[in-house]
Amino acid sequence: MTNPRNCLSGDVIEKRLRDLAGFTDIAGQLTRLTLSPSHKNAAEHLGKLFRAAGMTTHIDPLGSLVGRYAPEGCGPRTLLIGSHIDTVRDAGIYDGNLGVMVGLSVIEAMHKGGVVPPVAIELIAFSDEEGVRFPSTLSASKALAGRFDPRCLDDLDERGIRRRGSLIAFGAPAGDPALIGRDPATTLGYVEVHIEQGPVLEAASLPLGIVTAINGVTRGEVILRGVAGHAGTLPMAMRHDALTAAAEMVLSIEERGRADKDLVATVGVLEVPGGAINVVPGRARFTFDVRAPSDALRQRAVSDIRVRIERIARARNVEAAFEITHEAEATPCDPRLSGALERHTFALGLDTIRLPSGAGHDAMSFRGVLPVAMLFVRCRGGISHNPAEFASEEDIGLSARVLYDFVMGL
């Protein structure tokens, strides 16, 4: 009988990630948009690996590959392990794909070692996380969480192809996606291993991190109206300069973002419509994006930012219209599952930290439905959504050992 832990080596996982990266829509880079021909081929390739590792497999009505490992003697409940195999354009090979490959190696280790886990496991290679091809995203994980939104089937890509048609081309079986929601009574939770996509673990010299929550986000824009004037004739004291007001507001938003640990606040767009070198700006527009692991913290920050903007506008004699355009609640990770991931990390002699996820993940779909937990793997330079994305074989191997011990400890 094989020692189960031999299947958990990072170099095997790394090699499989490189092989999987060969399934791409564009040769010479990794671009695997949801439900594309290369996505279909990748899912077929993975399906073979899943079956060789002892799983039964199927493609679900939204194009996810689902593997089930339920050897005789495992408990009546099911743990979901997953991540996504669609990618952005010109992606790295680790984003999403890593979590699927780590889950595969854990199940393979159990299968080859004749080890029966305490729960059945479903390993899911989600089809729709990146949101590059269609306007809506997470359709597949939302359906699994029992919150399928049929409007997503009418989504159009830039070539005018609907999601409905692309699912047929993909070979996804007909069937009502509203019926594939897993039963929370028999499903223990959802766990995802993912590269951090940020620089925190690397800066702390730690291979693995425990995610506290997936940040909620508030996005909006501020439109400023002052009075345009001649740059040469208008005295400084008599100006209603929309751009200098915006500049002060941008710095104030940054300051508010820095005031709370785990809060991030960004102005990503600043425009001066009709701006010219010899005109005092009469109009300005900027966006804001505020994220935090706690909804209360985020809402407090947004309301502070609004007060600051109004104060600055008054002091500078400009009008400010403040509008929130998008809001999403945070997904807190389950303390019990996260605590178990942490304990098994410590048990390997590793130090670790808890950190929020600034990026979105399939785990968000299970908010309020199932307990979720995420394990982050350090990535070089915090770089992601970029072919330079990199996680070391050693760190990947450690994540697989933690996930294995976590499942066996349930």
Helices 393-408 + 10-20 axis angle, to 10: 110
- Measured CA to CA, the distance from residue 82 to residue 74 in angstroms comes to 19
Looking at the DSSP bridge assignments, the partners of residue 193 are: 375
Region of residue 46 (phi > 0: left; psi between -120 and 50: alpha; otherwise: beta): alpha
Considering only 4, 10, 61, 96, the residue that binds Zn ion (CB under 5 A) is 96
Q: Can you tell me the distance from the alpha carbon of 130 to that of 362, in angstroms, rounded to the nearest whole number? A: 9
Q: Is 405 in the site for Zn ion (CB under 5 A)?
A: no
The piece of 35-43, 57-65, 95-103, 287-295 that touches Zn ion (CB under 5 A) is 95-103
DSSP 8-state symbol, 410: -
Residues 47-86: x/- map of binding to Zn ion (CB under 5 A)?
----------------------------------------
Nearest to Zn ion of 46, 284 (CB atom): 46
Tell me the closest approach of the beta carbon of residue 259 to Zn ion, in angstroms. Answer: 29
CB 334 → Zn ion: shortest distance, Å?
Answer: 20
Tokens representing 53? 């590792």
Shortest distance, position 30 Cβ to Zn ion, whole Å: 13
Residue 378 three-state SS: coil
- Please identify which residue in 14, 60, 86, 95 interacts with Zn ion, judged by CB under 5 A: 95
Instruction: Give the pairing of strands 319-328 and 65-69.
Output: unpaired
Residue 95 or residue 342: which is nearer to Zn ion going by CB? 95
Return the number of the residue (157 or 362) whose C-beta is nearest Zn ion. 362
What is the CA 91 to chain-centroid distance, rounded? 14
- Measured from each CB, the residue nearest to Zn ion is 96
SS3 169: helix
Range in contact with Zn ion (rule: CB under 5 A) among 94-102, 165-173, 256-264, 370-378: 94-102
Is residue 121 within a helix (H) or strand (E), and if so which, with residue range?
Answer: strand 120-126
Binding mask 367-396 for Zn ion (x = CB under 5 A): ------------------------------
Q: Between 141 and 244, name the residue whose CB sits nearer to Zn ion.
A: 141
Task: Tell me which residue has tokens 């102005």.
Answer: 267
Kindly tell me which of 63 and 96 has the beta carbon lying closer to Zn ion.
96
Q: From the CB of 257, what's the least distance to Zn ion, in Å?
A: 24
- The residue range among 92-100, 137-145, 228-236, 269-277 that interacts with Zn ion, by the rule CB under 5 A, is 92-100
Helix or strand (DSSP H, E) at 18: helix 10-20
Give the whole-angstrom CA distance, residue 321 versus residue 313: 10
Please give the residue ranges that form the binding site for Zn ion (CB under 5 A): 95-96
